[in-house]
Amino acid sequence: MALPKQALVAALIAFVAGGGGFLLARHLQPAEPVIPEGVPRVPSADTRLEGQPAPEVVLNDLDGKPRSLAEWRGRWLLVNFWATWCSPCMEEIPLLIAVQKQHQAAGLSVLGIAMDDPEAVTKTVQELGFNYPTLAGDEVVLGAMEKLGNTLGAIPYTVLISPEGLIRYVEMGGLDAGKLDMLVHRFLPPAP
C-alpha cells in the first residue's frame, strides 16, 4: 500500500510544480500583440543592419548645435531613441544613466535622441540628471531612426555602434538591466 501513497504524493507535487511553472511562465512572458489575419507584419528592427556601417546622422543638440554620430567614432556608442510621451522609454533612462556612469571609462558613450519638443526634453534631462548628451527633433528624428533600421517610428529603440562605426546591435523595445549587462559584457573590453 506504501507505493500508491508515494505515487499519489509525487503526483500531487508534480501537479503543484506544473501549476507554479505555468503561473511563472505567464508572469515572465510579456503580452504580445495578436496580429489579425490578413494584416501585414512589418519587421520592427532591421537586424540585417548588424555588422553594417552606421549611416551618417546629423541632428541638433539641445542648444540647437548640429551634431554628427561620427563625432563619437572611436568609442562604443549606445544610441537610445526616446520621448517624454513614451512611458517605456522613461523607465529605461535611469538604467542608461547608470550604464554611462559605470562604463564610460571602458569606452562606452550613451547618446539620447529624443523625438520630442526640445523644451520638454530639456526639462526632463534636467529633472532626471542625464549624464549623457541628448539630441532632439521631430520628423528629422524619424528619418534618423529609419536610417538606423527602424521603419515604424516606434520607440524605445536602441542601436549599439562600434568604435569603427559598425552597427553591432539593434533593439526595439525597452532594455532592462540584464540586457544592458549582456551588451556590455558581449561587446566592451573588460574594465581596466
Partner 1 sequence: MSLLLGVALPTLAADGFLKAKPKGDGLLPVDQAFQFEGVSREPKALVLRWSMAPGYYLYRHQLKVSADSPATLKLPALELPQGEAKDDPEFGPVQTYHGTLTAKLPIAAGQALPKTLRVRYQGCADIGVCYPPQTKLVAVR
CB nearer partner 1, residue 104 or residue 151: 151
Q: Residues 166, 77: contact at Cβ < 8 Å? A: no
Contact 156, 89 (CB under 8 A): yes
Q: Which of 70, 90, 97, 98 binds partner 1 (CB under 8 A)?
A: 90
CB atoms under 10 Å from CB of 55, counted, come to 14
**Binds partner 1 (CB under 8 A): choice among 45, 78, 121, 184:** 45
Q: Does 188 bind partner 1 (CB under 8 A)?
A: no
- The 10 Å Cβ neighbour count of residue 186 is 10
Q: Is 94 one of the binding residues for partner 1 (CB under 8 A)?
A: no
Q: Nearest-CA neighbor of 162 among 67, 101, 75, 52?
A: 75
Report the 10 Å Cβ neighbour count for 75: 16
70 binds partner 1 (CB under 8 A): no
By CB under 8 A, the residues from 144 to 173 that bind partner 1 are 152-157, 171-173
Applying CB under 8 A, the residues found at the interface with partner 1 are: 10, 13-15, 17-18, 20-22, 24-26, 28-36, 39, 41-45, 83, 85-91, 115, 142, 152-157, 171-174
